[in-house]
């Protein structure tokens, strides 16, 4: 199922100023004032397989994992799983997740990224 925000993200990424679009997307994905909005935006960005560079994706996942909001940490793990970048394995492995069910999910994604 497509989310209307995905088309907004796609259009922004196709603009001439891709760097500004990536900055806008990362800001929206990490909006601490509205974690539910940020998590939803994060998941929409995760559906873009070629978004940013591997380093940009790793930075976004790292920042999401550093959030106090579980919705953002969950979205960051889901994004890492969706993008499937092998380099995201180290980002996930460096994170100490305090919530047991989310930590179990994180460890499963780490295992999947090895394969």
DSSP 50-62: T-S-HHHHHHHHH
Task: For residues 93 and 9, give the distance between their C-alpha atoms in angstroms, rounded to a whole number.
Answer: 28
Tokens 């196709």 locate to 14
**What 3-state DSSP class applies to 67?**
coil
Residue 1: pLDDT band by 50, 70, 90 thresholds? low
Mean pLDDT of the chain: 89
What pTM, to 2 d.p., does this model score?
0.87
Q: What percent of the chain has pLDDT over 70?
A: 89
Nearest alpha carbon to residue 60 among 23, 34, 16: 23
**pLDDT (tens digit per residue) in 17-71:** 778 889 988 998 998 788 998 998 899 899 888 888 999 999 999 999 999 999 9
Task: For residues 17 and 105, give the distance between their C-alpha atoms in angstroms, rounded to a whole number.
Answer: 36
**pLDDT (tens digit per residue) in 78-113:** 999 999 999 999 999 999 999 999 999 999 999 999
What is the CB neighbour count within 10 angstroms for residue 68? 8
More confident residue, 16 or 72: 72
């Amino acid at each position: 199922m497509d989310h209307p925000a995905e088309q907004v993200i796609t259009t922004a990424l196709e603009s001439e100023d891709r760097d500004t679009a990536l900055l806008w997307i990362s800001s929206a994905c990490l909006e601490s004032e509205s974690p539910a909005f940020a998590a939803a935006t994060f998941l929409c960005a995760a559906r873009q397989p070629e978004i940013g560079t591997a380093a940009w994706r790793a930075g976004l996942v790292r920042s999401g994992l550093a959030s106090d909001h579980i919705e953002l940490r969950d979205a960051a793990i889901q994004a890492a799983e969706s993008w499937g970048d092998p380099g995201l394995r180290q980002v996930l492995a460096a994170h100490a997740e305090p919530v047991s069910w989310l930590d179990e999910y994180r460890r499963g994604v780490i295992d999947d990224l090895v394969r």
